[in-house]
């Protein structure tokens, strides 16, 4: 591992940035869907990466979660920083907290429909549109297909609308949520690095160094 300006930042960052990250959490009343299997599952998952030098960064997120919105720029910045490194993989997972966020599930459907129609770039652009919208609604998700940011052709707009109305991406969302339930997720955003839940500071420098330290 090469040391750079981020190494210099480590000493000051670690001393100044230990704090509890306030996210979007399920209430005690809404935890009936959660299981007790998370410890064994996470340990097995982490072992599969021992000694490989590969780093997998996973985020479980909710489109309607204010904390997810605040963290989004940092996550995207990290993806760009490691974009050319084939040993680092970023995975975005949907975990809509439907009990407390009315339009989170629909937002997840829409984000994945954008990906199916326009690829990963369209997914990221649509997610950014949702995070910057102050008043989410079903109509917003439907009409966002016309936003010039997405560069969707008329045909792509039709494909998106059909996908969203018919909930074609529902299996993807269910799969992501089932994965979160296995890990006993209680809120968003939740980060995993090589299968282990990351509970440290969420600032860019600290996360960069955490990922970089595993590339050995």
For range 73-80, the mean pLDDT? 90
Q: What is the CATH number of the domain that holds 40?
A: 3.40.30.10
Banded pLDDT at 22 (limits 50, 70, 90): low
Closest among 179, 75, 82, 171 to 127, alpha carbons compared? 75
Q: Residue 56: is its pLDDT beyond 70?
A: yes
Q: Residue 206: is its pLDDT beyond 80?
A: yes
Which pLDDT value is given to residue 18? 31
Which pLDDT value is given to residue 74? 92
Which pLDDT value is given to residue 104? 96
pTM of this prediction?
0.76
Which pLDDT value is given to residue 193? 94
Q: Give a yes or no: residue 43 inside a domain.
A: yes
Q: Give a yes or no: residue 45 inside a domain.
A: yes
Q: Residue 31: is its pLDDT beyond 80?
A: no
Q: Give a yes or no: residue 103 inside a domain.
A: yes
Report the side by side order of strands in the sheet with 196-198.
Answer: 88-94, 55-61, 190-193, 196-198
Which pLDDT value is given to residue 166? 98
Q: Give a yes or no: residue 191 inside a domain.
A: yes
Q: Give a yes or no: residue 23 inside a domain.
A: no
Which pLDDT value is given to residue 82? 86
What total number of domains does the chain contain? 1
In tens, the pLDDT along 90-141 reads 999 999 999 999 999 999 999 999 999 999 999 999 999 999 999 999 999 9
Q: Which domain holds residue 123?
A: 5-16+32-213
Which pLDDT value is given to residue 53? 74
Whether omega before 86 lies within 30 degrees of 0, making that bond cis, reads: no
In tens, the pLDDT along 3-20 reads 443 333 333 333 333 333
In tens, the pLDDT along 83-92 reads 888 889 999 9
In tens, the pLDDT along 159-200 reads 999 999 999 999 999 999 999 999 999 899 999 999 999 999
Q: Give a yes or no: residue 25 inside a domain.
A: no
Exposed/middle/buried for residue 148 (C-beta within 10 Å: 0-12, 13-18, 19+): exposed
Q: Give a yes or no: residue 156 inside a domain.
A: yes
Q: Mean pLDDT in the chain?
A: 81
Q: Give a yes or no: residue 24 inside a domain.
A: no
């Amino acid at each position: 591992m090469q040391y750079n300006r981020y190494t210099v930042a480590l000493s000051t960052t670690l001393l100044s940035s230990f704090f509890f990250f306030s996210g979007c959490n399920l209430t005690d009343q809404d935890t009936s869907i959660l299981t007790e299997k998370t410890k064994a599952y996470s340990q097995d998952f982490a072992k599969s990466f021992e000694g490989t030098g590969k780093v997998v960064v996973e985020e479980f997120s909710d489109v309607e979660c204010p904390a997810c919105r605040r963290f989004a720029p940092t996550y995207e910045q990290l993806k760009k920083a490691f974009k050319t490194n084939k040993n680092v993989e970023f995975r975005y997972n949907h975990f809509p907290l439907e009990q407390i966020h009315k339009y989170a599930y629909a937002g997840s459907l829409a984000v994945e429909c954008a990906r199916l129609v326009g690829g990963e770039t369209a997914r990221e652009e649509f997610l950014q549109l949702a995070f910057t919208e102050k008043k989410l609604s079903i109509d917003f998700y439907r009409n966002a297909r016309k936003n010039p940011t997405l560069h969707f052709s008329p045909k792509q707009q039709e494909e998106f609308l059909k996908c969203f109305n018919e909930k074609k991406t529902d299996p993807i969302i269910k799969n992501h949520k089932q994965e979160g339930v296995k890990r006993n997720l209680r809120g968003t955003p939740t980060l995993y690095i090589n299968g282990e839940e990351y509970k440290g500071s969420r600032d860019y420098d600290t996360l960069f160094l955490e990922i970089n330290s595993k590339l050995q």
